[in-house]
Amino acid sequence: MKLIKTRTKPFAINLNGLSPIAQDAILFTDEKLIGTDAYIGVAWFWNNEYKHCMREASIVVRRKVHKAFLKAGLPVDGVSNEHRVIVARYAKFYN
């Protein structure tokens, strides 16, 4: 999939206000973007170890964690001390 960079003004979408078909389309697209800089923040990418704090995380937090994993050269679905440090830095409910 070739990604095209465009400049647009930021906007917000209330995902809960979308139809189930639109929600599925966004989720399907985001699943394909896991591991890229274009990840939207909707699809689940994290290891089961972090599910309790990441599933409650906002889209912004999910993107920050995902981006930090990529920057550190870590697999986004991995488990390590480095992963734990990054998740703890961004996710509120991580113990």
pLDDT of residue 5: 65
Token digits for 67? 């981006």
pLDDT of residue 7: 62
Q: Give the DSSP letter of residue 94.
A: -
pLDDT of residue 3: 63
The answer to whether residue 44 is domain-embedded is: yes
pLDDT at 12 over 70: yes
The answer to whether residue 52 is domain-embedded is: yes
Token digits for 18? 């979308």
The answer to whether residue 9 is domain-embedded is: no
- Which three-class secondary structure state does DSSP give residue 3? coil
The answer to whether residue 81 is domain-embedded is: yes
The answer to whether residue 66 is domain-embedded is: yes
pLDDT of residue 44: 95
The answer to whether residue 57 is domain-embedded is: yes
The answer to whether residue 25 is domain-embedded is: no
Return the higher-pLDDT residue of 33 and 93. Answer: 33
